[in-house]
Amino acid sequence: MTLTAKQTAAPGAAQRLEPLVEQLLGGELPVRVRMWDGSETGAPDGPLVHVRSRRALRRLLWAPGELGLAEAYITGDIDIEGDLATGLRAMRHAVRERGLRPPSPGAGGRLRALGTALRLGAVGPRPPVPAARAGLHGVLHSKARDRAAVSHHYDLSNAFYALLLDETMAYSCGYWTSDAPGYGPADAQRDKLELICRKLGLRPGARLLDIGCGWGSLTLYAAQRHGVRVTAVTLAREQAAYVRHQVAERNLEHLVEVRCCDYRDIAPAPGHEGGYDAVSTIEMGEHVGDEQYPAFAGTLHAMVRPRGRVLVQQMSRGRDAPGGGAFIESYIAPDMHMRPLGETVTLLEGAGLEVRDVEGLREHYVRTVDAWRRTLEENHQEFTDLVGEETVRVWRLYLAGGALAFDERRMGVDQILSVRPETTGAAGMPDTRNGWYAASAEVPAARDGATAGLAE
């Protein structure tokens, strides 16, 4: 009998681990694995996963599945050679092609894994949790816990986001209207902001409530370009400070009020009977929570006047896709909840709003996230100096995985335009979509020279 090279080679860590991994996956490894001792196994043409230390296996023993793998990558115990996004895409393709399953070992599988880890010298106490992991306490979606969840992500530092984003500081899906040379992320964001203003029918003097205003991209655009009076609401202190500074820099104090508060504490439009003329909430509803969303939708309805419009831009998950996941919920957006688009539409209608238009932007988010990812890679050292290597690796994994999730339709993002009808049922909407996107004739004109000196 002639032995193959694989059979005659002295077994290294890779060969010892291979049978267990293939048993847990239900098939051959979809990637090439190189262990800390230099031994290799798996698909010769697959992405190269470098397991740099025994601690990587220890992390997987303590946290099997997605979270353990993510934390091993965050700490540098595991690396993927080459471009991370390309590697993740190839891995997912191989898993689908080979019909593999996520590991979910029973008692017997856990015992075999422990035995293999013992032979490899990988057994020991639980490795330290990376510092970038969120540690929230208290009642789910209480005001205090929601503030902590928002702070974890959005208060990372204004300098970090200023480096990651373009000059609009819009941290949401852009609207890519051109493939012309020189058209970039800032153009896509401005086109998105203009689209929102037109869908809301904004004109000078209108009162807009911007819930979850971020770094003020829509607030500042609506005030400066359209003469709109904006109440901007955010829970993140760093964001509120940034927007207030920009308001002062642009001499928009007469048009913009910034409130750092919970959406549940928003007061009606000051000195304006009947509510705001329009309400926007751009990628904030994902943070509200499942049980709280009906009340959130009720707030949108209560804050807008009859015949006023509400625009919700919100991420969704596919009908059979989980959305989020252990990594996202632990490191990026704790307590986030995504639902299929249809369920959000039902909740908005249940609050008394009439949904008039839904526009899917899923492909636009692939381009948006890819632009952020390129910025992160091209400025790696500067980002590392700002927030540290582990946080940079968190964001590299987040952006690469996010772009892939949108591309594969596991996640989506949509603009949902609604109106609050009058008690008679009248919505006051023009007859055609083109008419919807024009300035509303019902919104009062600017008062007190509101648009004087605005940039064009």
Q: Domains in the chain, start-ordered, CATH in brackets?
A: 11-119 (no CATH), 143-436 (3.40.50.150)
Compute the distance between CA of residue 360 and CA of residue 412 in angstroms, rounded to an integer: 7
Q: How would you list the strands of the sheet with 207-211, edge to edge?
A: 256-260, 229-234, 207-211, 276-282, 304-317, 411-419, 354-360
Q: Which two tokens stand for residue 20?
A: 């267990």
**pLDDT score recorded for residue 65:** 80
Helices (DSSP H) in 176-327: which residue ranges?
185-199, 217-226, 237-249, 293-303, 326-327
pLDDT band at 273 (very low <50, low <70, confident <90, very high): low
**Per mean pLDDT, which range of 143-152, 290-299, 431-440 is the poorest?**
431-440
Average pLDDT on 229-236 reads 96
Our measurement of the distance from residue 349's CA atom to the centroid of its chain's CA atoms, rounded to an integer in Å, reads: 25
Compute the distance between CA of residue 193 and CA of residue 328 in angstroms, rounded to an integer: 27
Evaluate if residue 396 carries a pLDDT over 50: yes
Evaluate if residue 115 carries a pLDDT over 90: no
pLDDT band at 318 (very low <50, low <70, confident <90, very high): confident
Compute the distance between CA of residue 286 and CA of residue 227 in angstroms, rounded to an integer: 29
Evaluate if residue 448 carries a pLDDT over 50: no
Amino acid residing at 77 = D
| Mean pLDDT for the chain overall | 87
**pLDDT score recorded for residue 102:** 64
Compute the distance between CA of residue 427 and CA of residue 407 in angstroms, rounded to an integer: 36
Taking only the tens place, the pLDDT of each residue in 80-104 is 988 888 888 887 887 777 776 666 6
Evaluate if residue 451 carries a pLDDT over 50: no
CA angle 75, 77, 80 (to 5 degrees): 100
**Which has more confidence, 431 or 422?**
422
Evaluate if residue 436 carries a pLDDT over 70: no
**pLDDT score recorded for residue 269:** 67
Evaluate if residue 215 carries a pLDDT over 90: yes
Compute the distance between CA of residue 193 and CA of residue 456 in angstroms, rounded to an integer: 14
**pLDDT score recorded for residue 219:** 98
pLDDT band at 326 (very low <50, low <70, confident <90, very high): confident
Helices (DSSP H) in 99-142: which residue ranges?
107-119
Evaluate if residue 166 carries a pLDDT over 90: yes
CA angle 189, 200, 184 (to 5 degrees): 10
| Sign, CA torsion 41/45/47/48 | positive
**pLDDT score recorded for residue 446:** 37
Pairing of strands 40-42, 276-282: unpaired
Average pLDDT on 70-76 reads 95
**pLDDT score recorded for residue 64:** 80
**pLDDT score recorded for residue 272:** 56
**Per mean pLDDT, which range of 39-53, 222-236, 287-301, 387-401 is the poorest?**
39-53
Do 355 and 310 contact (CB within 8 A), yes or no? no
**Which has more confidence, 310 or 432?**
310
Q: At what angle do helices 54-62 and 66-74 cross, to 10 degrees?
A: 150
Comparing CA positions, the residue from 435, 430, 357, 373 lying closest to residue 89 is: 373
Taking only the tens place, the pLDDT of each residue in 357-393 is 999 999 999 999 999 999 999 999 999 999 999 999 9
**Which has more confidence, 439 or 62?**
62
**pLDDT score recorded for residue 439:** 52
Contacts with 302 (C-beta within 8 Å, 6 or more apart), sequence order: 268, 275
Q: Which two tokens stand for residue 104?
A: 């979910």
Average pLDDT on 73-80 reads 94
Do 419 and 103 contact (CB within 8 A), yes or no? no
Residue 210 three-state SS? strand
438 CB neighbour count, 10 Å cutoff: 12
Evaluate if residue 61 carries a pLDDT over 90: no
**pLDDT score recorded for residue 114:** 72
**Per mean pLDDT, which range of 12-16, 193-197, 364-368 is the poorest?**
12-16
pLDDT band at 456 (very low <50, low <70, confident <90, very high): very low
Compute the distance between CA of residue 238 and CA of residue 158 in angstroms, rounded to an integer: 7
Beta-bridged to residue 281, according to DSSP, are: 211, 312
